[in-house]
């Protein structure tokens, strides 16, 4: 009996010791022991979302990079409101919040911020058609923001010097839903972060900016406040490394680089064309896309011709995909003004360019490089890739090559290249435009907001083209030409840009 009691006492002591040891274990040691880090984020287009190709989002990829840095698995935990996310952090169910949240002194009293890695601004937004408010005193309707958000904290600070300022708060809607509520006329005003607004206005151009409420707000990850510095201590070298290695810039370019510029008239015209014109040609985009995404093909076509089958550039490229006579001959197009033929030929040519990209280059960089080649010629793109490598960056990443393409207009650079002068700056804008058009199409399609396509495309048959001179070609330029001749031979005409 005594022996059994002794065994029970020893067992209890061992359990208590084990519990104490676990309590004394650092946060980093626990993460290592569990082989996972738990990261909370608000589900959104800028943070985290599920796509056809899997999990996507700026904060998701940055969190994955940190998990790799620690040598553990990432457990991403999406949330739909801030209250739940912060409660889970406080309870210890999350290690970090990575959700594009800005630094705030009030919040910093309760939580610990990591290093700043981006800056944004907060904008007051309203629907086009209302009188533009230029300050808070101009507001004359329902003003709603997310409860316990950075927007709410900002307004509380402003109210100290502007006591008449009033607003409502909600936990039922996220930032994008509030923006949609403005579009739908359910509320009159809200606040939005600049990056979220840029993404949203790709397909809702009627959302307008009244004024900037804040500028250059620092963004950082958030941890629990404690004396345990084990995890926080690794955030500093991690962010230093992703900045130094250009990894952070590549992520910013991937998710936000193409939406920095906004043109209201152009975007509005595009949305209208999606409703009125795209249904006519959509069956052919789908039929001839092959391994390409038909929506990418359609976006490329809009950038080239605004879906005008009779489009013609000053240099002679023609049709809905703007093919040169030489390129048309390569891909079997006999009448460039016949839209079905032109779409089939453009799809075939783009597919050829994608295949020409080195196999080691992953998506989406392969596609962006191919689109640049469609505009300026693969030879010029490859020249930019060589310059990129010479400058110590990656020739396989569009974000890095994009920086160097504009150098091809400078003599000190193009005179040392194989194919010479090219309007690389135009190619960069060209790809950015297509990416915006593509993103909008994808969003509208996935939200069942595209107009139904007709059963059979009905297009007036175009007249046979008259004799045309041989103009610039979207094929490899000839190295023996002068820089100016190479440019004409190797780059496409300047497209309709924003």
Q: Higher confidence at residue 128 or residue 477? A: 128
Structural tokens at position 343: 């779409």
* 283-288 contacts, C-beta under 8 A, 24 or more apart: 283/453, 283/454, 283/456, 283/457, 284/339, 284/340, 284/343, 284/344, 284/457, 285/343, 285/347, 288/343, 288/344, 288/347, 288/348
Q: What is the mean pLDDT of the chain?
A: 86
Percent residues over pLDDT 70 in the chain: 85
Q: Which pLDDT belongs to residue 227? A: 86
Residue 191 clears pLDDT 70, i.e. is over it? yes
Mean pLDDT value across residues 351-376: 95
Q: Are 406 and 428 in contact (CB under 8 A)?
A: yes
State the pLDDT confidence band at 81, using cuts at 50, 70 and 90.
confident
SS3 assignment, position 134:
coil
Parallel/antiparallel/unpaired status of strands 36-42 and 73-79: parallel
pLDDT at 487: 41
* Chain mean position to CA 159: 34
Instruction: Round to whole Å and give the CA distance between 95 and 27.
Output: 8
- pLDDT surpassing 90 at residue 208: yes
pLDDT-based confidence at residue 12 (cuts at 50, 70, 90): low
Please list the helix, strand and coil fractions of the chain in percent, rounded to the nearest 5, in that order.
Answer: 50, 15, 40
Residue 16 makes CB contacts below 8 A (sequence gap 6+) with: none
Of the pLDDT bands very low, low, confident and very high (cuts 50, 70, 90), residue 253 is confident
- What's the rounded Cα separation, in Å, for the pair 257 and 432? 8
Predicted local distance difference test score (pLDDT) of residue 46:
85
Q: In the predicted model, what is the mean pLDDT of residues 351-373?
A: 95
Q: How many CB atoms lie within 10 A of CB 495?
A: 21
Quote the radius of gyration of the chain (alpha carbons, Å): 27
Helices 58-70 and 247-256, interaxial angle, to 10°? 160
With contact defined as beta carbons under 8 Å apart, do 425 and 409 qualify? yes
End-to-end Cα spacing for the chain: 88
Give whole-number Cα distances, 50 to 45, 315, 438, in Å.
9, 43, 17
Given a contact cutoff of 8 angstroms between Cβ atoms, the answer to whether 42 and 85 are in contact is yes
Task: Identify which of 151, 166, 41 has the alpha carbon closest to the alpha carbon of residue 106.
Answer: 151
Closest CA to 151 of 82, 205, 49: 82
* pLDDT, mean of residues 446-456: 72
Element (H, E) at 77: strand 73-79
Percent of all residues in the chain with a pLDDT value above 90, rounded to a whole number: 68
SS3 label, residue 336: coil
In this predicted structure, the answer to whether residue 459 has a pLDDT above a threshold of 90 is: no
Average pLDDT of the segment spanning 423-435: 93
The phi, psi pair for 405, rounded to 5°, reads -55, -45
The reported pLDDT for the residue numbered 456 is 54
Residue with tokens 């396509």: 453
Q: What pLDDT does residue 422 have?
A: 92
CA 200, 201, 207, 208 dihedral sign is: positive
DSSP reduced 3-state for 315: coil
DSSP code, position 323: B
> Mean pLDDT, to the nearest integer, of 25-36?
94
**Is it the case that residue 33 has pLDDT exceeding 70?**
yes
Question: Would you name the residues annotated as active-site residues?
Answer: 304
Quick: pLDDT tens for 284-312. Answer: 999 999 999 999 999 999 999 999 999 99
Give yes or no for a contact between 343 and 299, defined as CB atoms under 8 angstroms apart.
no
Answer left, alpha or beta for residue 467, where phi above 0 means left and psi between -120 and 50 means alpha. beta
pLDDT at 463: 40
pLDDT band at residue 24 under the 50/70/90 scheme: low
Least confident of 9-18, 58-67, 327-336, 357-366: 9-18
- Encoded tokens for 263: 């043109």
Count the helices and strands in the chain (H runs, E runs).
21, 14
Q: Is the pLDDT of residue 88 over 70?
A: yes
Q: What is the pLDDT of residue 291?
A: 92
Structure tokens given for 49 = 């979302």
Decide if 492 contacts 474 (C-beta within 8 A). Answer: yes
């Amino acid at each position: 009996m005594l022996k059994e009691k002794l065994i029970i006492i020893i067992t209890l002591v061992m359990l208590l010791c084990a519990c104490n040891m676990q309590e004394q274990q650092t946060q980093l040691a626990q993460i290592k022991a569990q082989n996972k880090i738990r990261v909370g984020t608000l589900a959104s287009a800028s943070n985290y979302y599920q796509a056809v190709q899997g999990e996507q989002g700026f904060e998701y990829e940055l969190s994955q990079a940190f998990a790799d840095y620690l040598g553990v698995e990432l457990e991403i935990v999406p949330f739909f409101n801030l209250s739940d996310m912060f409660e889970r952090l406080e309870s210890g169910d999350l290690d970090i919040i990575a959700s594009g949240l800005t630094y705030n002194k009030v919040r910093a009293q309760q939580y610990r911020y990591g290093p700043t890695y981006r800056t944004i601004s907060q904008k007051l937004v309203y629907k086009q058609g209302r009188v533009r408010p230029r300050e808070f005193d101009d507001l004359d309707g329902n003003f709603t923001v997310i409860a316990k958000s950075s927007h709410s904290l900002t307004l509380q600070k402003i109210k100290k010097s502007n006591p008449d300022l009033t607003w409502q708060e909600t936990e039922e809607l996220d930032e994008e839903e509030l923006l949609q509520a403005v579009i739908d006329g359910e509320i009159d005003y809200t606040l939005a972060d600049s990056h979220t607004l840029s993404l949203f206005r790709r397909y809702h151009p009627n959302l307008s900016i009244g004024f900037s409420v804040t500028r250059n707000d620092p963004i950082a990850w958030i941890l629990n406040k404690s004396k345990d510095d084990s995890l926080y201590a690794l955030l500093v070298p991690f962010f230093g490394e992703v900045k130094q290695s250009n990894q952070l810039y590549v992520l910013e370019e991937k998710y936000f680089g193409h939406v920095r510029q906004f043109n209201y008239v152009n975007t509005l015209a595009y949305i209208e064309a999606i409703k009125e014109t795209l249904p006519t040609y959509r069956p052919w985009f789908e039929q001839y896309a092959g391994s390409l995404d038909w929506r990418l093909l359609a976006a490329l076509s809009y950038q080239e011709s605004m879906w005008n089958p009779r489009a013609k550039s000053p240099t002679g490229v023609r049709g809905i995909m703007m093919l040169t006579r030489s390129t048309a001959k390569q891909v079997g197009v006999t009448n460039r003004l016949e839209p079905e033929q032109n779409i089939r030929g453009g799809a075939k040519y783009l597919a050829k360019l994608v295949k020409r990209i080195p196999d080691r280059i992953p998506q989406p960089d392969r596609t962006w490089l191919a689109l640049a080649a469609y505009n300026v010629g693969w030879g010029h793109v490859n020249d930019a890739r060589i310059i990129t490598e010479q400058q110590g960056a990656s020739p396989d990443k569009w974000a890095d090559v994009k920086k160097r393409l504009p150098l091809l207009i400078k003599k000190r650079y193009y005179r040392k290249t194989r194919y010479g002068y090219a309007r690389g700056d135009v190619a960069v804008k060209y790809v950015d435009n297509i990416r915006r058009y593509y993103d909008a199409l994808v969003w509208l399609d996935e939200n069942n907001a595209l107009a139904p396509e007709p059963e059979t495309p009905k297009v007036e048959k175009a007249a046979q083209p008259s004799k045309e001179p041989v103009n610039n070609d979207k094929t490899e330029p000839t190295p023996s030409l002068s820089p100016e001749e190479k440019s004409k031979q190797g780059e496409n005409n300047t497209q309709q840009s924003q």
